[in-house]
Chains A and B, each alone.
Chain A
C-alpha cells in the first residue's frame, strides 16, 4: 500500500479498494513500527483517524467534486502551527506550546481533505543541516541509520523515505528541503519566495524562509504544492500572482530546454562519486533533448558568508518573542525580569540557536551594522544579479544539491563551518528568492543517495518541475526503497 503514488491512492480511495481510515491506520502502524528513526515529534493518531473518517464520508457522498488529495495522509513539519497540537519547532522553548491556530498551509491542506498523521522532527527552529540540533534528539536516515537525514527538515525526509508517510511538508531557508531530499533519496521542492504563505510557519529568517514539499516523486510533490500555494492576505510577502497548474505541465517534452551549468558548482569541493552521478544525470537530460551550456555565478562562493550574516540577523530578532512572558519555556527560578529573560532563553534554546542569535545580534549592533548587515545585503543583490544574468542564457540551472552524501551522526558536530558548507549550493537560491528542487540521481560508493539540484527562474517552478518529472520518467532512482522499509 505504501508504495503507491498520490494519484494511485486517490484512485484506490475512490474505487473503494481501501478507505482513508485503512490507509491512515496503515501509516500509523508503520510510524509505530519505525519509532527508532525518531522522525516524529508528535503522532496525532486520534485526530488523523477522525480526519480520515470524515474524508471517507465525503468520498462516499461527493467524490467527483473533491480535491484529489482527499483522504491521503501527510506529515507536517513541526515548524507549522497546528491548532490544538504541540508545535515545538524542535525546541525545548516550545515544549509546551499547543498552537491555538492553524498555519495557512495547514488550513489549506486540511481543506483539501488531507489527513495529518503527526508533526515531524526538525533541527531546532530550522537551524541545522543534520537534524542533530533538535531538542527531541537526532533523526536517522533510513538509507543508513548511522547517518543523518539532513536538515532542517530531517524528520519529514526520514518519514517519507521510510514510507511512514506518503508525503510531508517542509521548509527551506538555506537548503532545508533540498539537502534532506538529497540525503534521503527524495524529491524536495522549494518554490519561489512568496509563492506559499508563511503565516503560521514559525519564522527563522523571514526573507529566506519558504515552505515546500518532500515527496517521492515530482508528480506527488506538485499535487501537494498546488494545494499549498497562492496568495494569502495574512502574509504581506505572499505574492498575488496566479499559481500555474503544476501537474498539467509536467508531461511536456524537455526538448530544446537549455540547462545552465555553473562552473562554480562543479569544482573541487564536490565529492568525486557525487560529481560522477550528477554528470550522468546531465547526460541523461541531454539524451532527452535538453541543451547544456556553461554559465557563471561568480559570487556564489560568497553565498555562505552572506547567508550566515543575514539569516542570523533576522533570526536574532524573530526569536526575541520567545521570552518566557506569554508562552513557551519560562525558567523556574529567577531574581528579576532580566534574569527571567536570561534564564528562560539560556534553558530554552540549544547551542546552535544561541550561536545564531549571538551572531545575529552582533551583526546588527551599532558600529557593525554597515560592515556586516549592509555589506551582506549588497552581496545578496549581486548574487541575485548573477542568477539573472545566467538566466539570460538558459531556462534552468543544474548542479549537485550537496557537495557530498549523508554523513555519519556526530561527524560535523564540533565544526559549525563544515556543517554550514552543506548548504553551499542551496542557500544562494534562497538569497535570490528562486525556486529550486532536488531529485534523486543515483547512489554514491557508500550506497547513499545523490541529489540533482535544479534551479528555476523566479516564479517559474513549472520548468524545473517539468524537467525533473521527465527525468523521473526516464530513471528509477526515485523508486528505490531503503532496505528494511519496503
Chain B
C-alpha cells in the first residue's frame, strides 16, 4: 500500500522559556549556565514553609504573545498544581495553569506549498520549569541542579491542524520568529529555551476520526522535529499496515539513533491530580495593563514582511527570508538606511555574501563581525561605479576579515574601476585588432561572440573595466 493513502495529523506543544530576570514565583536569577544550585533560593528548593509570589513580568510576556496572535487574553486566570514526584521537581508538584490559562484561542498563519494555512492555537499557559538531573560524575548517584527550577515557561498548545512534518516545522519556525520578535524569549534551542513535544497520529485519508496518537517528547531542533515526526509516521503506518495497532503512549526521540522509543504507556501515565493552587489567588489583569502591553507590541513579522515588499520593492521570497530572523531584518534595514544603493541590491548582499560568510564561520547575525555601515559603504562604491559588483565580492572578503575601510582596500589593492572611456577604447581597439577572426564571425551574424570580447577586455583589465562602458564601446565599434 502506498503511503499516500494515509493522512498525518500533528499537534505541537511548545515550551517557550520567558526571558524574565527572576523566576516566575521567586526572586532568584534565571541566567543560564551558572554553577549548579547557585540560583536555587529557598523557594526554588521548596524549603518547608516557603510560598510562591507571581512575577508579573512573566504575565506581561504571556499577554504580549496572546495579543500578537489575536488570541483571547483571559483577564482572570488560575494557577493549578500538577502533582507528580520527580527529584528535579522540588515541591512534588509543578505550578501550571489548567482550567483557566492566561491565553485562550488564537491562530497563526503559515505558508505551505499549497498556499496559506491557518493553524489553530488552543491555548497558551504559564508554568514553572523543573530543575535538571545530572547523571554524569556522581558514581551511581544522580545529581540535581535546581538553577532552572522555577524559570517561567509559556506552553503554547496548537490544534491538531498540521498534516505533514514540514508543516509542523514551518509552524514551529514561525512561532520561533514570533517569540523572538516579541522579545519574550531568546528562543535558544540548545539551551532549552524553546522546546517542542509533538502529538502524532495517522488516519486513512478521508476518515474524520483521529487515529491513536503518540506524544513525542524531547525534540530540541527544527531538524529533529522533522526527522522525529517522519520516523514516527512511518512507524505508525507500518504498525497498522502490519495489522497491529498504535498504542497511546509517550515516546522519546533519540536523535543519535534517529528513532522514537516508548517512555510510558497510557496505563503508566501519571494522574496529575490537578487542583487550583491555594497559595496563589486568581491572577487578574486590568484592562489598562492589557492595553499597555498592546501599545508595547513591536512590528510583527508579517507586518514587516509586507512593509519590506512595499517600501523596498522586494520579492515576497526575499522579504520572507529577511524577516525570519529579527536581527537579519534589522541589519538589512540599517544597511538600507546608510547606503545609496538600491534596497534590492542590499537584500541580495545580506542574503547572499553576508549570510554565506556567517554560515561559513557558523556565526549568527547577532555575532556578525561586519558592521552594517561597512557593508553600506561597499554598496555605495558599487552604486557610484567605483568598483563593479564582481570586484565588490573580492573587496567583501577583505572587508570581512580585516579592519580596513572599503576605500582603503580599493585604494591599496587597486580595485578601482576603469571608467576612463579613452582608456577602455584603447584596450577594445587592441583586442579587436588581435582577434580579427572573431570580429568576422560576429559580423557574419554570430552575436554570441560579443561575450568573448567583453571577457577579453575584463581579462586585460583584471575585471576592473566598467562593464556598462565596455558594452557600449564594443557595440559602437562593432555594429
Q: Among the listed B50, B91, B279, which residue makes an inter-chain contact with A320, where contact means beta carbons less than 8 Å apart? A: B91
CB pair B47 A100 closer than 8 Å: yes
CB pair A236 B48 closer than 8 Å: no
Q: Which residues of A contact B273 (CB under 8 A)?
A: 316-317, 361, 364-366, 369
With CB as the reference atom, state the residue of chain B lying closest to A198.
Answer: B51
CB pair A94 B48 closer than 8 Å: yes
Q: Which residues of B contact A366 (CB under 8 A)?
A: 271, 273
In the complex the two chains form, what is the Cα distance from A317 to B277 in whole Å?
Answer: 10
In the complex the two chains form, what is the Cα distance from A314 to B271 in whole Å?
Answer: 16
With CB as the reference atom, state the residue of chain B lying closest to A197.
Answer: B51
The yes or no answer to A450 lying at the interface (CB within 8 A) is no
Q: Among the listed A200, A205, A317, which residue makes an inter-chain contact with B49, where contact means beta carbons less than 8 Å apart? A: A200
CB pair B49 A326 closer than 8 Å: no
Binary interface encoding of chain A residues 74-93 relative to chain B, with 1 for a CB under 8 A from any of its CBs, else 0: 00000011000001010000
Complex A-B: 29 CB contacts under 8 Å: A81-B47, A81-B49, A87-B49, A99-B47, A100-B47, A101-B47, A198-B51, A206-B278, A207-B278, A234-B51, A236-B51, A237-B278, A237-B279, A237-B281, A316-B83, A316-B273, A317-B83, A317-B93, A317-B275, A319-B92, A321-B48, A325-B90, A326-B45, A326-B46, A326-B144, A364-B83, A364-B273, A366-B273, A373-B275
CB pair B275 A321 closer than 8 Å: no
The yes or no answer to B280 lying at the interface (CB within 8 A) is yes
CB pair B92 A202 closer than 8 Å: no
The yes or no answer to A313 lying at the interface (CB within 8 A) is yes
* Main SS at interface, chain B: loop
The yes or no answer to A359 lying at the interface (CB within 8 A) is no
Which A residues from 211 to 252 make CB contacts under 8 A with B?
Answer: 233-237
Asked, given contacts A100-B42, A364-B273, A366-B271, whether A236 binds B47 with beta carbons under 8 Å apart, the answer is no
Chain B residues with CB under 8 Å of chain A are 42, 45-54, 81, 83, 85, 87, 90-93, 144, 271, 273-275, 278-281
Q: Which residues of B contact A323 (CB under 8 A)?
A: 85, 87, 92
CB distance from B271 to the nearest CB of A (A): 5
In the complex the two chains form, what is the Cα distance from A316 to B278 in whole Å?
Answer: 13
With CB as the reference atom, state the residue of chain B lying closest to A340.
Answer: B87
CB pair A326 B279 closer than 8 Å: no
Q: Among the listed A80, A94, A199, A373, which residue makes an inter-chain contact with B51, where contact means beta carbons less than 8 Å apart? A: A199
CB pair A236 B281 closer than 8 Å: yes
CB pair B93 A320 closer than 8 Å: yes
Binary interface encoding of chain A residues 310-341 relative to chain B, with 1 for a CB under 8 A from any of its CBs, else 0: 00011011011111011100000000010001
CB pair A320 B53 closer than 8 Å: no
Asked, given contacts A101-B42, A206-B278, A326-B45, whether A321 binds B51 with beta carbons under 8 Å apart, the answer is no
In the complex the two chains form, what is the Cα distance from A94 to B378 in whole Å?
Answer: 70
Chain A residues with CB under 8 Å of chain B are 80-81, 87, 89, 94, 97, 99-101, 103, 198-203, 205-207, 233-237, 313-314, 316-317, 319-323, 325-327, 337, 341, 361, 364-366, 369, 373
CB distance from A459 to the nearest CB of B (A): 16
Compute the total of residue contacts between A and B using a CB distance below 8 Å: 99
CB pair A235 B51 closer than 8 Å: yes
Asked, given contacts A320-B85, A325-B87, A325-B144, whether A313 binds B275 with beta carbons under 8 Å apart, the answer is yes
With CB as the reference atom, state the residue of chain B lying closest to A206.
Answer: B278
In the complex the two chains form, what is the Cα distance from A80 to B48 in whole Å?
Answer: 9
CB distance from B42 to the nearest CB of A (A): 6
In the complex the two chains form, what is the Cα distance from A323 to B93 in whole Å?
Answer: 12
Q: Which residues of B contact A205 (CB under 8 A)?
A: 278
Q: Which residues of A contact B46 (CB under 8 A)?
A: 321, 326
Asked, given contacts A236-B281, A321-B92, whether A200 binds B45 with beta carbons under 8 Å apart, the answer is no
CB pair A369 B275 closer than 8 Å: yes
In the complex the two chains form, what is the Cα distance from A321 to B49 in whole Å?
Answer: 10
CB distance from A366 to the nearest CB of B (A): 5
CB pair B271 A317 closer than 8 Å: no
In the complex the two chains form, what is the Cα distance from A234 to B51 in whole Å?
Answer: 7
In the complex the two chains form, what is the Cα distance from A416 to B53 in whole Å?
Answer: 36
With CB as the reference atom, state the residue of chain A lying closest to B53.
Answer: A236
CB distance from B429 to the nearest CB of A (A): 88
Q: Which residues of B contact A89 (CB under 8 A)?
A: 48
Q: Which residues of A contact B92 (CB under 8 A)?
A: 317, 319-321, 323
Q: Which residues of B contact A326 (CB under 8 A)?
A: 45-46, 90, 144
With CB as the reference atom, state the residue of chain B lying closest to A103.
Answer: B49
Q: Which residues of A contact B52 (CB under 8 A)?
A: 236
Q: Which residues of A contact B47 (CB under 8 A)?
A: 81, 99-101, 327
Asked, given contacts A320-B91, A369-B275, whether A203 binds B49 with beta carbons under 8 Å apart, the answer is yes
Q: Which residues of A contact B280 (CB under 8 A)?
A: 236-237
Q: Which residues of B contact A97 (CB under 8 A)?
A: 48
Q: Which residues of A contact B54 (CB under 8 A)?
A: 236
In the complex the two chains form, what is the Cα distance from A217 to B45 in whole Å?
Answer: 40
Q: Among the listed A198, A320, A364, which residue makes an inter-chain contact with B275, where contact means beta carbons less than 8 Å apart? A: A364
CB pair A337 B87 closer than 8 Å: yes
CB distance from A76 to the nearest CB of B (A): 13
Q: Which residues of A contact B278 (CB under 8 A)?
A: 205-207, 237, 314
Known: A319-B92, A323-B92, A325-B87. 8 other contacts (CB 8 A): A199-B51, A200-B50, A201-B49, A206-B279, A317-B92, A321-B92, A364-B275, A369-B273
In the complex the two chains form, what is the Cα distance from A17 to B81 in whole Å?
Answer: 55
CB distance from B89 to the nearest CB of A (A): 9
In the complex the two chains form, what is the Cα distance from A89 to B275 in whole Å?
Answer: 25
In the complex the two chains form, what is the Cα distance from A97 to B45 in whole Å?
Answer: 14
Q: Which residues of B contact A314 (CB under 8 A)?
A: 278
Q: Which residues of B contact A201 (CB under 8 A)?
A: 49
Q: Which of A101, A198, A321 is packed against the most chain B CB atoms within 10 Å?
A: A321
With CB as the reference atom, state the residue of chain A lying closest to B45.
Answer: A326
CB distance from A290 to the nearest CB of B (A): 36
Task: Give 8 closest A-B pairs by Cβ, nearest first.
Answer: A320-B92, A207-B278, A364-B273, A206-B278, A200-B49, A202-B48, A321-B46, A81-B49
Q: Which residues of A contact B45 (CB under 8 A)?
A: 326
Q: Which residues of A contact B50 (CB under 8 A)?
A: 199-200
In the complex the two chains form, what is the Cα distance from A313 to B81 in whole Å?
Answer: 11
In the complex the two chains form, what is the Cα distance from A205 to B271 in whole Å?
Answer: 21
Q: Which residues of A contact B274 (CB under 8 A)?
A: 364
CB pair A365 B271 closer than 8 Å: yes
In the complex the two chains form, what is the Cα distance from A466 to B42 in whole Å?
Answer: 39
With CB as the reference atom, state the residue of chain B lying closest to A102.
Answer: B49
CB distance from B25 to the nearest CB of A (A): 9
With CB as the reference atom, state the residue of chain B lying closest to A320.
Answer: B92
With CB as the reference atom, state the residue of chain B lying closest to A233.
Answer: B53
Q: Which of B42, B45, B51 is packed against the most chain A CB atoms within 10 Å?
A: B51
Q: Which residues of B contact A103 (CB under 8 A)?
A: 49
In the complex the two chains form, what is the Cα distance from A313 to B80 in whole Å?
Answer: 13
CB pair A199 B49 closer than 8 Å: yes
Q: Among the listed A100, A234, A365, which residue makes an inter-chain contact with B53, where contact means beta carbons less than 8 Å apart? A: A234
CB pair B279 A321 closer than 8 Å: no
Q: Which residues of A contact B87 (CB under 8 A)?
A: 323, 325, 337
Q: Which residues of B contact A373 (CB under 8 A)?
A: 275
In the complex the two chains form, what is the Cα distance from A323 to B280 in whole Å?
Answer: 23
Q: Which of A99, A206, A234, A365 is packed against the most chain B CB atoms within 10 Å?
A: A234
Q: Which residues of A contact B53 (CB under 8 A)?
A: 233-236
Q: Which residues of B contact A100 (CB under 8 A)?
A: 42, 47
Q: Which residues of A contact B85 (CB under 8 A)?
A: 320, 323, 341
In the complex the two chains form, what is the Cα distance from A6 to B46 in whole Å?
Answer: 36
In the complex the two chains form, what is the Cα distance from A327 to B278 in whole Å?
Answer: 24
CB distance from B264 to the nearest CB of A (A): 13
CB distance from A109 to the nearest CB of B (A): 15
Q: Which residues of A contact B279 (CB under 8 A)?
A: 203, 206, 236-237
In the complex the two chains form, what is the Cα distance from A236 to B56 in whole Å?
Answer: 12
In the complex the two chains form, what is the Cα distance from A373 to B144 in whole Å?
Answer: 34
With CB as the reference atom, state the residue of chain B lying closest to A232.
Answer: B51
In the complex the two chains form, what is the Cα distance from A203 to B50 in whole Å?
Answer: 9
CB pair A99 B48 closer than 8 Å: yes
In the complex the two chains form, what is the Cα distance from A101 to B47 in whole Å?
Answer: 9
CB distance from B398 to the nearest CB of A (A): 58
CB distance from A473 to the nearest CB of B (A): 37
In the complex the two chains form, what is the Cα distance from A319 to B83 in whole Å?
Answer: 11
